[in-house]
Amino acid sequence: MVSRTIPTDPFDLVLFGATGDLARRKILPSLYRRFVAGQMPEDARVIGAARSELSDDDFRDLVRGALDEFVSDAKKDAGTIDAFVAQCSYIAIDAKGEGGWKELKKSVRDEVVKAFYFSVAPSIFGALAEKLRSHGIACDNSRLVVEKPFGTDLETAKKLNADLAASFHEDQIYRIDHFLGKETVQNLMAVRFSNVLFEPLWNERFIDHVQITVAETVGVGGRGSYYDTSGAMRDMVQNHLMQLLCLTAMEPPAAFDPDRLRDEKLKVIRALDPVPPSDVVRGQYKAGPEPSYVEDAENPDSKTESYIALKIGISNWRWKHTPFYLRTGKRMTERMSEIVVQFKETPHSIFERDEGSTANRLTIRLQPDEGMDLSVTIKEPGPGGMRLVNVPLDMTFAEALGPDGEEMPDAYERLIMDVIRGNQTLFMRGDEVEAAWAWTDPIIRAWEERGDTPKQYAQGSSGPEEALALMLRDGRRWRDLED
């Protein structure tokens, strides 16, 4: 792979929530990796901001600790780490009071790109945005990055949009959905829109159905109190899986440009059918070997789902009779995210078919083992007559593109650099987030009104049996997670 790393313009990135978990696990290590790659210029600065009273040196120690824990050994080098932390500093900030704001105003430079990253609870987004404006720290070309969850329903998302709009224009706001920064997710667009092979077949005439799976082996321990008010539908489907569905289903945009792309995604969300309760399966993991979901959530009566599967229809010409099946869950048998595009059988076969399907299948593997494969049917080698077998045309990105051992860049690396470059293509627009909630809300409301209880599933399984039935009743199957 030829690395084309062009340093960005100089920038000041103010990271609110700099002592928090996301900053340590993702944001600071990603900045460091870009530094190692030569993309972060020498006069770029990272200013940590949080409530705790820390000195610059305390913060630099925290950054060192984060890099030590979350950066691979191959990229760790004492001299490089020293150089990176020298570009980091810290200001204690009181989000709602006056503490720290004057100092921040003095620290950020007007002549460079200014980005403010809110890695904090959404309840203080509005207050922080207002302070940045009223203290004259943010200006019309500063950028604001906000993390998920962007609301818990349509009403709260509208409120957040309105709070941010009071101080920033839409073209300054970068709403993160880190799935959009994943290498294979971007490749989905490259594959769809730069090969003539797929587009003519990419519709209900040739595609039987699409399956989108995001399976995780982790539980919710450690973040149970947040998760229990959210559940898989809000935590994963409304944002990450919705984005995957949109990129798979959208019309080709006229240009790879933020608004053209987001217009097309929005049209998909608006074409989603309401989902009846019979097309939703919710689950909760049972105890063993790790604690059960309700133990992790510390809520014995919890009815929150740690797993969800849905069948979704899209009412437009392209997809009218092609359902999309989505599933995501915690404590499942494998960590595996993929999009499976299952084509139809040939209309007529002149060969005898062995058991099973010979229909083509395009699998886009998001993680681990990023890549894609297209299953095609060929003749089984040998003299035994015309026996057909399905074989994959496999393309694993690491093998096809990467020099030995090179890591795939983390989604955050790409996204943070896009903020600095001022490119909103891989970020969600306010109307898109609201449309996603407008579709999600009635589904959640329906189970809340019914007092729906999630089905129990075993840890290390593929989720509740009922989710299998959701596809079997249509004569279809989920792909095995362990394939």
- Active-site positions read 240
- Binding track over 102-141 against ligand BG6, x by CB under 6 A: ----------------------------------------
CB 322 within 8 A of CB 207: yes
Instruction: Give the total residue count for the chain.
Output: 483
Q: How far is the CB of 390 from ligand BG6 (least distance, A)?
A: 28
In the bound complex, what is the minimum distance in angstroms from residue 417's beta carbon to ligand BG6? 17
Residue 285 beta carbon to ligand BG6: minimum distance, rounded to whole angstroms: 13
Encoded tokens for 295: 């133990």
CA within 13 Å, CB half, 477 = 7
One of 163, 216, 228, 296 touching ligand BG6 (CB under 6 A): 216
DSSP state of 330: S
| Backbone dihedral region for residue 131 (phi beyond 0: left; psi -120 to 50: alpha; all else: beta) | alpha
Which 165-194 residues touch ligand BG6, going by CB under 6 A?
178
Of residues 175, 470, 152, the one with CA closest to residue 323: 470
What does DSSP say about strands 361-367 and 143-146: parallel, antiparallel, or unpaired?
Answer: unpaired
* DSSP secondary structure letters along 39-86: -S-TT-EEEEEESS---HHHHHHHHHHHHHHHS-GGG--HHHHHHHHH
Strand bridging mode 173-175 / 143-146: parallel
Q: Please tell me whether residue 338 binds ligand BG6 under the rule CB under 6 A.
A: no
Nearer to ligand BG6, 367 or 390 (CB): 367
- Closer to ligand BG6 by Cβ: residue 39 or 328: 328
Number of residues that bind ligand BG6 (CB under 6 A): 4
Q: 135 to 164, contacts with ligand BG6 by CB under 6 A?
A: 148
Q: Considering the complex, what minimum distance in angstroms separates the CB of residue 167 from ligand BG6?
A: 25
Among candidate residues 6, 14, 26, the one with its CA nearest the CA of residue 113:
14
**Binder to ligand BG6 among 12, 208, 228, 235 (CB under 6 A)?**
235
Helices (H), 288-328: 293-296
Q: How far apart are CA 444 and CA 85, in angstroms?
A: 45
Residues 6 or more apart whose CB falls under 8 angstroms from that of 152 comprise 229, 230, 234
Token readout for 310 is 């849905």
Name which of residues 352 to 411 contact ligand BG6 (CB under 6 A).
Answer: none
- Residue among 148 and 159 whose Cβ is closer to ligand BG6: 148
CB of 234 to ligand BG6, least distance (A): 9
Q: What is the C-alpha to C-alpha distance for residues 136 and 378, in angstroms, rounded to an integer?
A: 66
Residue 235 CB, nearest distance to ligand BG6 (Å)? 5
Contact residues for ligand BG6, defined by CB under 6 A: 148, 178, 216, 235
